[in-house]
Amino acid sequence: MPPEGGAAIGQPQSDDKAQLMKARVFITLKNGVLDPQGKAIHHALEGLGFSGVNDVRAGKMIELDLAEGTSDDEIEDMCRQLLANTVIENFRIERSENA
């Protein structure tokens, strides 16, 4: 239970004046990189009787809540330095205003 007048941990304060932005980072393996998780998913789908799937590539999506003014360059730096392994992964960023 949050303290009286406060927000739960990890939740923005209701009286924050700064508008929050969201960014979603989609991370996928580069073409030519083996995808054992995708192969396992494909095998499981076939085992369940789904025959219409030719290939599966697994990836991840990371959602960021950002302060107003966070630049695209800063988000790209986050991806290059931590979120994606750019040797074997590609990333794509989608930004949207928090509703």
| Domain range annotation of the chain | 21-97
Which of 3-16 are b and which e, b meaning 16 or more Cβ less than 10 Å from the residue's Cβ?
A: eeeeeeeeeeeeee
Instruction: Indicate the pLDDT class of residue 1, thresholds 50, 70 and 90.
Output: very low
Average pLDDT over residues 76-92: 98
Q: Indicate if the pLDDT at residue 87 is higher than 70.
A: yes
Q: What is the pTM of this model?
A: 0.74
Specify the CATH number of the domain 21-97.
3.30.1280.10
Which DSSP state fits 9? T
For 77-81, what is the mean pLDDT?
Answer: 98
* Number of neighbouring beta carbons within 10 Å of residue 56: 15
pLDDT value at position 7? 47
